[in-house]
Amino acid sequence: MKETRIVKILKETTSVGIETIVNVKGWVRTKRGNNNVAFIALNDGSTVLNIQVVVDIDKFDENKIKQITTGTSLSVTGKLVVSTGKGQSVEILADEIEILGLADTETFPLQKKGHSMEFLRSIAHLRPRTNYFGCVLRLRHAMAFAIHKYFNDNGFFYLHTPIITSADAEGAGEMFRVTTLNLDNIPRDEHGKVNYSEDFFGKPTNLTVSGQLNGEMGAMALGKIYTFGPTFRAENSNTPRHLAEFWMIEPEMAFYDLQDNMDTAEEFIKYCIHYALENNFDDLQFLNDFFDKELINRLQTIIDVDFIRLSYTEAIDILINSGRKFEFKVAWGTDLQAEHERYLVEQHFKKPVILIDYPKEIKAFYMKQNEDGNTVRAMDVLFPKIGEIIGGSQREESLEKLLSAIQERNMSQDELRYYLDTRRFGTAIHSGFGLGFERLLLFVTGMTNIRDVIPFPRTPQNAEF
């Protein structure tokens, strides 16, 4: 008999049919009872909710039922009935129980509830079996789906950009090298430098830090595109908001200026949050009840408010006049730290903020230069609890200005030959941004550490699992 998913039994009880025989397969969360009857809470991952299996011990081999402990995988067949107990609307009266796999009580680590997040990180291969991570992983899926849906419904095309590249899109130099050279015997040229012509691609290559440059090629042909893929940064930041491998969503739109870009970013992120509230309420309710009592409230509020929009220069004034003692000093020209971003969002405005027109020195070469000669048309979307969730900009469409930005930064014009061609042939204003997928998930789940919203986190000194 084909199993029925527990979510279907609980949410679509009438269509499944009371008094019908069903089969469920899943893992035991708890077992309680006495010599006559056992109650097994079974979870199959389709929902945070368990189905209760009622076992009349007389009908079974008692020793077999004794073997069933937390973590055991079971196949249960029985009649679906309205429950007379409290805590569940329906339950299954077991006719047949097949033990698929036992879980040794002595060694299965998820016996009791209330493990710390740190401990669960050390068993990342088993933590999806907990309610927390079940919720997080279902939400992660839902957000990925919502993102594709938003863009598809709005006329964007999904563009696959390369993972291996020779470009440093952000110019920050935080790249993981990709090589097949023998590190124990590196080929050198006559100056003693590494001879990359002998490497796999005949030149230095790395894992991408952003798909944007390729994304721009797509937008300058298809009009509106987005990328959604893994991104790598070798920054040695051991913070609750940085991963060495994270997923980024990068839409890029031809004929959009910064204003259009901000409108798109705000609408898009609200859409994702709305989608979670509409489609994953049980998961959010669980996280709200057991992890973060403000979660659902916070999500609802974000959808209802208009994001504040202001310039970097205005933000610096607010920070300086705040009278606050920050760990990092505030001065025009320096990059904002998370503490500054969170002050603006959480204390000053109490709303998400979109900051624009940053000093050109702290932003990447491709951003559109403002008339003032000092700032560029950058935008960062700042969120409560997170700080920067989106980074983007209007792009410089003038070949001449782009060339001078490249020169100022001592970057290789030759490497960017293909990129510059978009400005040579049919250039047009265009804009885009990057949303850190795990930062979005931090916000949507209420988790406080980015390591807890990706199944297998990669951070400095940690590539386990």
Give the residues lining the site for ligand 4AD (CB under 6 A): 169-170, 210, 212, 233, 235, 242-243, 246, 248, 250, 388-393, 432-434, 436, 438-439
Q: Torsion angle of alpha carbons 401, 402, 406, 407, nearest 10°? A: -30
Q: Between residues 45 and 229, which has the closer beta carbon with respect to ligand 4AD?
A: 229
Instruction: Rank residues 115 and 148 by Cβ distance to ligand 4AD and give the closer one.
Output: 148
Q: Is 100 exposed, middle or buried (0-12, 13-18, 19+ CB in 10 A)?
A: exposed
Whole-angstrom distance between the N-terminal and C-terminal Cα of the chain? Answer: 35
Is the CB of 349 or the CB of 366 nearer to ligand 4AD? 366
Could you tell which of ligand 4AD, Mg ion, none binds residue 170, using a CB distance below 5 to 8 A set by kind? Answer: ligand 4AD
Give the shortest CB-356-to-Mg ion separation in angstroms: 13
Ranked by CB distance to Mg ion, the top (closest) residue is 391
Q: How far is the CB of 207 from ligand 4AD (least distance, A)?
A: 13
The nearer residue to ligand 4AD, 189 or 335, going by C-beta atoms, is 335
248 binds, among Mg ion, ligand 4AD, none (CB under 5 to 8 A by kind): ligand 4AD
Q: Which of the ranges 15-23, 177-185, 346-354, 387-395 carries the binding residues for Mg ion, by CB under 5 A?
A: 387-395
**Least gap, CB of 378 to ligand 4AD (angstroms):** 9
Nearer to ligand 4AD (CB atom), residue 288 or residue 431: 431
439 touches which of Mg ion, ligand 4AD, none (CB within 5 to 8 A by kind)? ligand 4AD
CB contact burial 317-327 (16+ within 10 A = b; e otherwise): eebeeeeeeee
- Supply the minimum distance, in Å, between the C-beta of residue 249 and Mg ion: 14
Task: Report the alpha-carbon distance of residue 344 to residue 347 in Å, rounded.
Answer: 6
Q: Least distance in Å: CB of 65 to ligand 4AD?
A: 47
Kindly state the smallest distance separating residue 170's Cβ from Mg ion, in Å. Answer: 8
Helix or strand run (H / E) with residue 283? helix 281-290
- Closest to Mg ion by CB, 91 vs 357, is 357
Our measurement of the distance from residue 225's CA atom to the centroid of its chain's CA atoms, rounded to an integer in Å, reads 19
CA distance 184 to 167: 26
Nearer CB in complex with ligand 4AD: 91/250? 250
Residues β-bridged to residue 402 = none
Closest approach, Cβ 337 to Mg ion, in A, equals 12
Question: Judged by CB, which is closer to ligand 4AD: 25, or 242?
Answer: 242
Residue 234 per-residue DSSP state:
-
Shortest spacing between CB 314 and ligand 4AD, in angstroms: 20
Selection from ligand 4AD, Mg ion, none that 330 binds (CB < 5 to 8 A by kind) is none
- Cβ-count burial 226-235 (b if 16+ within 10 Å, e if not): bbbbebbbbe
Token pair for residue 179? 């090589």
Quickly tell me which residue has 């708890």 as its tokens.
30
Q: Per-residue string for binding with Mg ion, 389-418, x by CB under 5 A?
A: --x---------------------------
What is the C-alpha to C-alpha distance for residues 94 and 82, in angstroms, rounded to an integer?
14
With CB cut-offs between 5 and 8 Å by kind, which of ligand 4AD, Mg ion, none does residue 212 bind? ligand 4AD
| Cβ(404)–Cβ(377) below 8 Å | no
Scored b (16 or more CB within 10 A) or e, 10-32 reads: beeeeebeeeeebbbbbbbbebe
Q: Which does 390 bind (CB under 5 to 8 A by kind): ligand 4AD, Mg ion, none?
A: ligand 4AD
String of DSSP letters for 199-226: STTSS-EEE-S-SHHHHHHHHHHHSEEE
387 touching Mg ion, by CB under 5 A? no
| Cβ at position 388, least distance to Mg ion in Å | 6
User: If we measure between CA atoms, which residue out of 273, 270, 367 comes closest to residue 312?
Assistant: 367
251 forms beta bridges with: 226
d(CA 296, CA 300): 6
Nearer to ligand 4AD, 78 or 211 (CB): 211
List of residues contacting Mg ion (CB under 5 A): 391
